A and B are shown apart, each in its own frame.
Chain A
Amino acid sequence: MFFRRRRGMRGEDYMIRSLDDFARIAKEKGPKKLAVLAPEDEEFMLAVKTSWQKGYIEPVLIGNTEKMKRVAEKVEFDIGGFETIVGDDRQAIADLGLSMLFSGKVAIVSKGQIPTAYVYRSIIREENKAGSGMTVSVVSFWAVPGLDHLVAITDTGVNIKPDLKTKAEIIKNAFFVYRLLGYPKPRIAVLSGQREIGGTLASYRDYQSLREVAASGDLGDCEIVEATSFTEIFLGGRGHPLDYNSMNMEMMPHIVLVPCLDAGNILCKLDFFLDVTRCSLVATSRGPACIPSRADSTDNIVEQLAMSVVLADRMKREVK
């Protein structure tokens, strides 16, 4: 049974504007059963503990038992009462967690100390097995101070150099997720490194084509804005002088499509530089796979789990 990607939103869905909204709603909608893939370091295990204490999740721990026990002890978390599944092989852990998600045994999967590539591989396999035909892509939300909505950056994890067709699918995935936040018509920016010199970039040609596709209604009820750079978004064009006082933050679109994986990964993880917070997930056809970076802090992982709980709840209501 797939999540039905409906174009309409339920009227009772509260519009989510911030990570605090996720945290508040996750308390109401939790606990959700969560398969955690290799929570084998302290930061991650502490995030699992905190999320459980907050009532977001009921964890199923998959990984090296000794390592999980050791870090659980260090963060004073008694994992004796939770389902624990032994696994050492990274790919086998990811495969098991994703099969649990696709069989409905858990509502969410979250990456722990495991390279992301294994998780993506498992998701793609499960989607293929399920015959969903879905293009797998990652959405990374940014919470930006001073902005009244979250910014969804995509694809930040899977597609190395997506072609136009794949980019359209990536937009559809992000569009689906963003509508779960309660926005009926999100605005989308298709980014490019297009400048005043150097000819026309492939990413810019894709922007032009995607604008046409969006105008025809094939991407759903969304708008692709007439801007491919942050300069154009915030200053209204590339000929205007930089003035932070006249910068209009509200011009920031809801969804940002990046040109390629390198650009996506670099941009979304600039939270290590900037005063923004990042939360990443793959909205699979059976529920959210939470994709924190192995380098993320405990607090940030907890925020990402709260996001996944809320989206799992809203996706569940999309079931046919």
Chain B
Amino acid sequence: MLTSFKEIVEAAKVSGAKRLAVSFVKKKDIDLLSMAAGAGLIIPCLVGDGKAMEDMIKGTPLKSLKHEIMDQKDPDKALSKAIGLIRDGRADMLMQGGHDHQALMDAVMDAKKGLRKGKLMSYISLFQLPKQKKLILITDTFITNNPTLGEKQQILEHAIRLAGILGIVAPKVAALAAIEQINLNIPSTLEAAILSKMSERKQFGKALVEGPIDIDCALSEAAAARKGLRSIVTGNVDIYLVPEIDSGHLMAEALVFFGKMETAGAIMGTTNPVIMNLPFVSDESKIVEIALAALMCKKGGNDA
């Protein structure tokens, strides 16, 4: 089981270099790609203005490392080409370059030419706990605004799959809500209860879902006990399933800014890993995202 960002990077190194396609790469990302290529994680395939990219990597470590440059001066076509490389099996993963988030997502989600695998894509924020040797997953923190129960089921299945890639065989899941009791006026409590019942019936394999559960009970076994909630999930959660995007996005940000906790993320529900530039992911953690993507390629092929 992988328990730290460092272990993710080390494990990915063992899996061998993967081909990373990026269109209109930003200058600030060249150092990151150099580092990742130097560590044996990736072989960058840079799609964009050929001359501009040659100039960009001149004098950087990437120049002397294995890489590929493909000339396509039109940004939209360059993005399509980068995605096409993956669809053709000539690249393994996509990284966001100079395109904005929505343009990237639109291209990735395109039913005919994109990388979407199923009906839903989701985003998982991974955190490395400072006091325990443990990784936690929080989802969905970036993509789905107000998931229906069916969408929550898929988001949860994505997280369980990523937990499996990290070696967490029987993840403990907190289906979060404002309170730990079912309140018919609070939809998140009902949906969490249903997911919990589904877990009881083994509909999520070995994963154990507790819900509804409020954050204090999820985080502290003692706190849960004082509220009369006893479960092996309390105080030892692997996956936090949030009710909706307001909660998820703000929770992830709060951990980053108030807890100064490093985070890395992964998009799920695509044929191949896609790495996004989120504003609250540090440069240091971006290499973890690349390593995680490499691991996702290794485990189950392109089963992102």
Contact = CB atoms under 8 A, between A and B. Distances in A.
Given A243-B282, A265-B215, A274-B255, 12 more contacts: A160-B186, A201-B145, A231-B279, A242-B281, A262-B176, A262-B247, A263-B247, A266-B214, A266-B215, A266-B242, A272-B223, A294-B227
B143 interface: yes
Contacts of B227: 294-295
A199 interface: yes
Contacts of B183: 117
Interface string A183-206: 000000001110111110101000
A265 B215 CA distance: 8
Contact of B250 (A191, A199, A240, A244): A191
A247 interface: yes
A267 B138 CA distance: 13
Contact of A242 (B177, B246, B282): B282
Interface string B107-148: 000000000000000000000000000000000001111000
A269 B177 CA distance: 12
Interface majority SS on A: helix, strand, loop or mixed?
loop
Contacts of B188: 262
B224 A295 contact: yes
Contacts of A264: 178
Contacts of A203: 246
A276 B280 CA distance: 20
B269 interface: no
Contact of A274 (B102, B181, B258): B258
Contacts of B242: 262, 266
Given A242-B279, A266-B247, A261 B178 contact: yes
A256 to B, nearest CB: 9
B234 to A, nearest CB: 10
B178 A266 contact: yes
Nearest to B101: A196
20 contacts: A43-B226, A113-B226, A160-B185, A193-B249, A193-B250, A197-B101, A201-B245, A203-B246, A230-B258, A240-B279, A262-B243, A266-B214, A266-B247, A267-B254, A269-B215, A272-B215, A274-B254, A293-B223, A295-B217, A295-B220
A115 interface: yes
Contact of A198 (B245, B256, B257): B245
B48 interface: no
Contacts of A265: 178-179, 214-215
Contacts of A266: 176, 178, 214-215, 242, 247, 250-251
B259 interface: yes
Given A43-B226, A267-B254, A197 B280 contact: no
Contacts of B216: 269, 272, 293, 295
A115 B250 contact: no
A123 interface: no
Nearest to B281: A242
Interface in A177-232: 191-193, 195-199, 201, 203, 229-231
B246 A263 contact: yes
A240 B282 CA distance: 10
B273 interface: no
Given A263-B246, A273-B255, A295-B224, A197 B279 contact: no
Contacts of A195: 101, 142, 245, 249
A219 B256 CA distance: 31
A201 B226 contact: no
| 4 closest Cβ pairs, A-B complex | A295-B223, A196-B101, A193-B249, A193-B246
A144 interface: yes
B289 interface: no
Contact of B282 (A233, A234, A241): A241
Contact of A229 (B219, B224, B253, B282): B253
A59 interface: no
A263 B257 contact: no
B260 interface: yes
A270 B260 contact: no
Interface string B249-275: 111011111111000000000000000
